[in-house]
Structure 1
Amino acid sequence: MSGSEGRGSTLPGAWSLEPGALQQQGLGHAAMDHHQNSGLQLEGFGLEKAAMGKERKEGQRRGKLMNLPYDILLEILSRLPARFLLQCRCVCKSWLTLVRDPRLAKMHLARASQHRNPSLIFNFRDNGTADLNLILNFHVNGNRVLYLFDLNEEGCEAVTIELPFLSSGSPNPFSILGSCNGLVCVARGFSLPSDPDIYIFNPITRECTMLPEPCIAHTSRADYAFGYHPATDEYKVVRTLFTGTNPLTGSYQTKVEVYTLGSKSWRRLEDTEFLLWASPSSLVNGAIHWLSGYHLGSGIYLIVYFDVGDEEFRVLDPPSELNPSREKGCASLVVLEGCLSLAYAPDDGGSLVVWVMKEYGVKESWTKQFVIQRGAVFPPMNYLQLLCLLKNGEILLEHTIKRLFCYNPNTKMVRHLAIHDLPNWIMHPTHTYVQSLVSLWTNNGAEE
């Protein structure tokens, strides 16, 4: 090989990779630019080819997944968190169809209710103890934001969800009336002399609808309860207005009307002789339950329930041991693991007793499940509200100052449940909530 054919030389018709060689051959800057552009084009082609290959592989994986039987796909997706499933809607049209399938919403709801802890939802209201600067720095739009905290992810921050029906700087705060299967019933403007605006809202899917005007005029205090019946697959809102007492019988007089999700108007029902605004309602077995009184001043607790299916009011007997006519105290209803339960604390605040109705509708099935004694950590028991039973066996309770406690009935230990970066005064009040894909538009014939 001659010297001219040593290292750095070029073969006939080939480009040298050294810019100096190009200039020596008289090709100049134009050839250099062409050489560099060609290299960039080759590099770009390589990146494009790699991206196409990656996209092809992802498409093949999606194709393999979509080749599974449809029922198997629903079973797989039902095990994923609701917020993740919403992201799956953007993958392709097939996934969008899957996620929108009402069967997936029901399967996901059943699995979440059985195997996962509920979430907590609450809204902002200052109780007068918070510093104004702290309020403003925390959230300037607190009166139109819903907070959601997943009890399966302790230590995480609460998620803020803006309500689509409240405009920025809305002067009327909202109240949470109740939740059911992932749908939340919300009232805006409860402090006004007229009826509030009532909405049903899914915080996960952001679907929302406003209820029509009630048919009974607002002449006294109006209260609302939200429920669902699995046999009819209907969601209903019950509106009650206490109008006074019957001078002949001494019983209460309460007007009642009901709204069914998907309908266009409220329906008037027969008046009832029960007082239904004395305590929050609890939904179990397709019925809305209140702890109420029958006759004025009787001091006897009655559990009144409204069957969402046949729209009739009936009565359940409380535990035989509970006799408030002999001892005063504070009682409330709650649902524990699908069973109607009653929590009672005497006026001395020394203990909290929890009864569970093991067999619905059978008085003899009331069982004293828990007795929580006041300790050094706990405040007086008559200031505690029992929220739910966690999957690890702990009991979640809320104090009136909006602090959350977890009580272990086996070890008798108490721990404070703190929500990261959220001051205690933010909660007003706390509701349990199941994250779901239940749609407002696929129930009761409602149209989008």
Structure 2
Amino acid sequence: MDLIRSNRETMFLMNLPSHLILEILSRLPAKTIIQCRCVCQLWLRLIDNHHFAAVNFSRARPGLVVHQSDLFKSFARLVDFDDDDSQDHLPRNTMLKFNLNAVSTFPDASIAIDGSVNGFLLLRDVNYAHETLYVCNPLNREYIVLPVARRSVRYPSVVTHGFGLTSAGNEYKIVRVFHERELDPITGSCLRIPFSECQVYSLNTGTWRTIGDAPFGYDSRSLGFFFQGNIHWLIQDFVGNELISCFDLENEVFHPFAPPFPGRKILGSLGNLKGCLCLCDNSSESVIEIWVMKEYGVENSWCKEIVVKKMPELVGPSFQIVHVFRVFRDGKILLLWGDFFMLYCCTKSGDAREVDMAQPSGPNSIEAMHYVPNFQSLGSIAGLETTVNSLF
């Protein structure tokens, strides 16, 4: 009887009008949609249509892309949260896992994630012997290889990147900031920067452009954080002042603004907390401070929003940058400590515990970024001369 009932339900669903099937499919989780592509040709055509991608993206539930690597592997896992975030709900492996190194033809490639915007990932081969950038949509396994930018990185020069969407929402851009450096032969500190350059790649046109020099000193460990049409870096100017550098993707100009505590050294990261730009600072030996810019771009709107007591084993001088990803309704917070582990902290009790992300044993690293599932094809936005490749 169960088999008969199941067959009847299947036939009923298959005989629904296409617009109703699309409406149902667009409300499913990303991993289920991927499985539905294999059901029949009709569902495959509906899911691969640009209209489906737009409808599904408008309903998509934000999650994380978690990059884990060890001595032999580099893979990313797309994880999700439960609908009800008022309780103790941790990230779940509800989407998929994929090998980052599959985008490269080099056997010694080491791929890292440098940005995540609307479901598209900016990937970078950190092996400077063949410096390469990629943009990838992991859901439909598409990727493009960016043309090689001018001025290759060779020590002691450094480079940093940012990935974002213009405020008008019609153009994806990658920003590449290159610095030549002269170092103190004894201390290794940077004495001066004789040359700098900012380059912008438009995903829509498929070309690099040089727009002038970069007015501040950047660190190769600093990734640009995208927020409200701008790329942001935590930086120092040439006299050592801590600043937040902001690059306007629409107008392609730099402008800095002050962090919440000018004149103080920052061991921090930038993020998006409940729709506001936030700064997570780990310079204290006993607590982690999370500051929020209540009114974007207004320096005096910075507010210390959350203070998290450190676990006893983490108290003391720290060199680890902490990232904050989510604050739940009950005040619990999801954090990433350096590139070692994720923590689930309770601001009320002070309790903290490590999130089990199934990390491999031995030397390994972990990084994470916000991620929103998107089935849009890269071919719909890439320049006409850009080749879209498939990981299938």
How does the TM-score come out when normalised to structure 2? 0.80
Tell me the residue number matched to 2:252: 311
Shift, 1:195, TM fit: 5.2
Shift, 1:340, TM fit: 0.9
Pick one of 246, 256, 263 that aligns with 2:205: 263
Q: d(CA) in 1 for partners of 2:201 and 2:208?
A: 5
Shift, 1:57, TM fit: 6.3
More strand by share: 2
Shift, 1:92, TM fit: 4.0
SS at the partner of 2:259?
Answer: coil
Question: Which residues of structure 1 form unaligned runs of 5+?
Answer: 1-49, 127-140
Shift, 1:207, TM fit: 0.6
Tell me the residue number matched to 1:215: 150
Shift, 1:65, TM fit: 4.8
Compared with structure 1, are the counterparts of its residues 415 and 94 closer, same or farther at alpha carbon in structure 2 (3 Å cutoff)?
A: same
Q: d(CA) in 2 for partners of 1:336 and 1:61?
A: 40
Q: For this pair of structures, how many residues does the alignment match?
A: 362
Matches within 5 A, 1:30-429: 58-66=10-18, 68=20, 75-112=23-60, 116-126=61-71, 142-143=73-74, 145-152=75-82, 154=91, 159-163=96-100, 164-166=102-104, 170-188=107-125, 190-192=126-128, 194=129, 196-216=131-151, 218=153, 220-229=157-166, 231-244=168-181, 253-277=195-219, 279-294=222-237, 296-298=238-240, 300-319=241-260, 322-323=261-262, 325=263, 327-346=264-283, 348-376=284-312, 378-380=314-316, 383-392=320-329, 393-400=331-338, 402-420=340-358, 422-423=360-361, 425-429=363-367
* Preserved CA contact (<8 Å) 1:303 1:318: yes
More helix by share: 1
Which structure ranks higher in relative contact order (CA pairs < 8 Å, sequence separation ≥ 6)?
2
Shift, 1:55, TM fit: 6.5
Q: d(CA) in 1 for partners of 2:235 and 2:359?
A: 38
- Aligned residue identity for 1:182: G
Q: d(CA) in 2 for partners of 1:230 and 1:271?
A: 23
Q: d(CA) in 1 for partners of 2:371 and 2:297?
A: 25
Q: d(CA) in 2 for partners of 1:150 and 1:427?
A: 20
Compared with structure 1, are the counterparts of its residues 382 and 106 closer, same or farther at alpha carbon in structure 2 (3 Å cutoff)?
A: farther
* Preserved CA contact (<8 Å) 2:273 2:326: yes
Pick one of 349, 362, 377 that aligns with 1:439: 377
Shift, 1:361, TM fit: 1.3
> What do residues 9-47 of structure 1 show as CA deviations (whole Å, max 9, x unaligned)?
xxxxxxxxxxxxxxxxxxxxxxxxxxxxxxxxxxxxxxx
Question: Which residues of structure 2 form unaligned runs of 5+?
Answer: 83-89, 183-191
SS at the partner of 1:227?
Answer: strand
Q: d(CA) in 2 for partners of 1:318 and 1:86?
A: 42
Q: d(CA) in 2 for partners of 1:357 and 1:256?
A: 27
> What do residues 233-270 of structure 1 show as CA deviations (whole Å, max 9, x unaligned)?
2221111111359xxxx888520111111423211112
How does the TM-score come out when normalised to structure 1? 0.71
SS at the partner of 1:179?
Answer: strand
Q: d(CA) in 2 for partners of 1:218 and 1:154?
A: 36
RMSD: 3.2
